[in-house]
Amino acid sequence: ASGDFVSRFINDTNAIREAGLRVANNLTKGIVTVIGAFISMLLIDWQLTLVLLVAYPIAFGPVIALGNSVRKRAKTAQQQVGEVTSLLSEGFQSGRVVKAYGLEDYQSQRMSKGFLDRARLYLKVLTDKAAVDPILEVTGGIAIAGVLAISAWRISQGDSTLGDFIGFLGLIGLAAPEIRALGTLNAVAQEGGAAADRIFEVLEAPDVISDKADARPLAEVKGRLEFDDVSFHYPDGSPALKGLSFTALPGETIAIVGPSGAGKSTIFNLLLRLYDPATGEVSLDGVNIADLRGVDLRGAMALVSQDAALFDDTIEANIRLGKMDANDESLRNAAIRADADGFIETLPVKYSTQVGEGGRNLSGGQRQRVALARAILRDAPILLLDEATSALDADSEARVQAALTEFAKDRTTLIIAHRLSTVRNADRILVVEDGCVVETGSHDELIAQGGVYARLAKLQLS
């Protein structure tokens, strides 16, 4: 869950910082003070010092055990903070649905449970940490009682003096607070250690998708894409592709259609090498994409997806993400071709308008046009359109489709679409069902076949 990662970045790093500050400020001071005090005690009376040296290590056994318990419980508590963070993010992002369906009480109950679990786990950690001082106090009291008894006996025997005894007590008074501080410091360090464990779980996790040591730089891209008997399963075990094969020639526009869950978006994920296929091979210009550098591979592609992800920045900045060094004229031309310039110019500060978190200050259609402008600005030889015009009205869609048709010339274009009206002019249409290509051809050819495509077309017309 994203909230768990956010928690690791913020809460866990704060826990490490606090532990680090406490250790840095108190560890050296405490150790030096305790060692100095015990050396002085040894010089005054080594026999009494042995009593303390036996008593305090016995006390530190339970203290260390409590520290280990703190580490385990702190890790559980920190994991639960991640769950609460996810719940909060989900609640804030789904505010419209919560209001529309009257789910305020439901959300409050979910959050109340999360906060109560948080309080319960935090109190367990505090209980373990609070138990350290009493253990050390009791042990210290027993040790001092032993020192008093032995000192009284030795003074009565003439083996020690009252001055030595008073000096010894003074040194105990100097060392005891530092020993208690070191005991509580162990619990703090263990809490920080639990946070460090969670952070290093991420830092040390192996890259699932990474460049090979001998990865090849990408030469001039012609745009031939090929899937050769590709199979893929998602982590939950559900099959997405089952031996899928097709070839897209340079400059060809191919539409990929089919029922929901057929594996259409998985094709794009594999092309971008967000995943690797379980079997088979995905290649670009005859080279397995797993042998190419990821930055070069993705640099040759421009993606527009139906969710139109925008960052909380200006419209200009979001478009410029397609090509960071683009000049203002190129950026404006991309916006015009994406039918975005018109609405942008009506805004008070035009291209400097903040889009808000996830682009929430813009309508769905406006977000999609900004995302299209970003892809057009990228000017990549391969264009991937995943329901790229789904949020546009009919008039805007017609203009954008015309612009995309012109833009797609001389570049390989793959289009995922549910609305079959948007793919009629594709060079070829691939019909994907149950992870396989089951039909291929032009719109008219597929209608004439009377298969899956014809059925989908009939359903849409009806």
| The predicted structure's pLDDT at residue 346 | 92
Q: How far apart are CA 68 and CA 20, in angstroms?
A: 18
Contact 132, 63 (CB under 8 A): yes
Stretch (H or E) spanning 284: strand 279-284
pLDDT in tens, 157-212: 776 777 777 777 787 777 777 777 777 777 788 888 888 888 888 888 888 888 88
The answer to whether 415 and 407 are in contact (CB under 8 A) is no
Classify strands 428-433 and 382-386 as parallel, antiparallel or unpaired: unpaired
The predicted pLDDT at position 55 comes to: 67
Asked whether residue 59 carries a pLDDT value surpassing 70, the answer given is no
Q: Between 375 and 390, whose confidence is greater?
A: 375
Secondary structure in 3-state letters for 219-280: CCCCCCEEEEEEEEECCCCCEEEEEEEEEECCCCEEEEECCCCCCHHHHHHHHCCCCCCCEE
Kind plus residue range of the DSSP H or E element containing 338: none
pLDDT band of residue 6 (cuts 50, 70, 90) is: confident
Over residues 90-135, the pLDDT tens digits come to: 787 778 788 877 888 888 888 888 888 888 887 887 777 777 667 7
Grouping H, G, I as helix, E, B as strand and the rest as coil, residue 217 is coil
Q: How confident is the model at residue 39 (pLDDT cuts 50, 70, 90)?
A: confident
Predicted local distance difference test score (pLDDT) of residue 391 = 67
Least confident of 143-147, 233-237, 392-396: 143-147
pLDDT average, residue stretch 17-27? 82
- State pLDDT tens for residues 223-271: 999 999 999 988 777 788 988 999 999 989 999 988 877 788 889 999 9
Which residues, at least 6 apart from 338, have a Cβ–Cβ distance to it below 8 Å? 369, 370, 372, 373, 376, 400, 403
* Run of H or E residues at 431: strand 428-433
* pLDDT single digits (tens) 357-375: 888 888 888 888 898 899 8
Question: Do the Cβ atoms of 350 and 344 come closer than 8 Å?
Answer: yes
Average pLDDT over residues 450-455: 85
Cβ partners under 8 Å of residue 78, min gap 6: 7, 11, 12, 15, 194, 195, 198
**Would you give the distance in Å from CA 126 to the centre of its chain?**
29
The answer to whether the CB of 26 falls within 8 A of the CB of 184 is: no
CA angle centred on 76, ends 71 and 77, rounded to 5°: 95
φ, ψ (nearest 5 deg) of residue 254: -120, 130
Please tell me what DSSP assigns to residue 423: S
**Dihedral sign (CA 27, 28, 33, 34):** positive
Most trustworthy range by pLDDT among 16-20, 305-309, 331-335 = 331-335
pLDDT of residue 366: 87
Indicate if the pLDDT at residue 461 is higher than 70.
Answer: no
- pLDDT (0 to 100) of residue 338: 86
Local structure of residue 451 (DSSP, 8 states) = S
Statement: residue 327 has pLDDT above 90:
yes
The pLDDT value given to residue 225: 94
What confidence tens digit (pLDDT) does each residue in 328-344 have?
999 999 999 888 898 99
Cα maximum dimension of the chain: 118
What does the H/E/C string look like for 170-211? HHHHHHHHHHHHHHHHHHHHHHHHHHHHHHHHHHCCCCCCCC
Distance CA 29, CA 21 (A): 13
Query: What pLDDT, on a 0 to 100 scale, did the predictor assign at position 217?
Result: 87
Per-residue pLDDT band at 288 (split at 50, 70, 90):
very high
The torsion angles phi and psi of 452, rounded to 5 degrees, stand at -60, -45
pLDDT recorded at residue 34: 80
For the stretch 63-95, pLDDT in tens is 677 777 777 877 887 787 888 888 888 787 778
**Weakest-pLDDT range from 110-114, 138-142, 323-327, 451-455:** 138-142
Percent of the chain at pLDDT above 90?
19
Tell which wins on pLDDT, 129 or 31.
Answer: 31
Q: Is 429 left (phi over 0), alpha (psi -120 to 50) or beta?
A: beta
Residue 354: what pLDDT?
A: 93
pLDDT of amino acid 161: 74
